[in-house]
Amino acid sequence: MADQIADNVIAMIKKNAAAYGADRDPSLSDAEITTETELTLLGIDSITLADILWDLEQAYDIGIEFNTADAWANLKTVGDLIEAVRALRAREA
């Protein structure tokens, strides 16, 4: 069974990284982006992360309560973002 939240978060990460021309690890293909992939390997910086967080808030009608600096300190992998979305959706449901 497909994980729709994970698929959506990964798609948002790819879209935002591409929009900013992120300098990601050239050995990492789109197909290799998993929950274990570190955001820094994707070229995600704090500004790109802020846009991703905004997109996630809009897509899932959630409020992310931390600032970008806190998020940058706590969200290291794609899986961290996915789990944050799941936790916020469960809390606000």
Burial class (CB in 10 A: 0-12, 13-18, 19+), 29: exposed
User: Looking up tokens 């300098």, which residue turns up?
Assistant: 23
pLDDT at 1: 38
pLDDT at 58: 92
| Fold classification of 4-92 (topology level) | 1.10.1200
- Residue 16 near residue 48, CB atoms below 8 Å: yes
pLDDT at 6: 92
Q: What residue segments make up the domains of the chain, in order of their start?
A: 4-92
Q: How far, in Å, CA of 47 to CA of 18, rounded?
A: 13
Tens-binned pLDDT, residue by residue, of the chain (93 aa)? 358 999 999 888 888 776 665 566 555 556 678 889 888 888 888 788 888 888 888 999 888 776 656 666 788 899 998 998 898 888 876
| Chain centre to alpha carbon of residue 78 | 5
Q: How far, in Å, CA of 40 to CA of 43, rounded?
A: 5
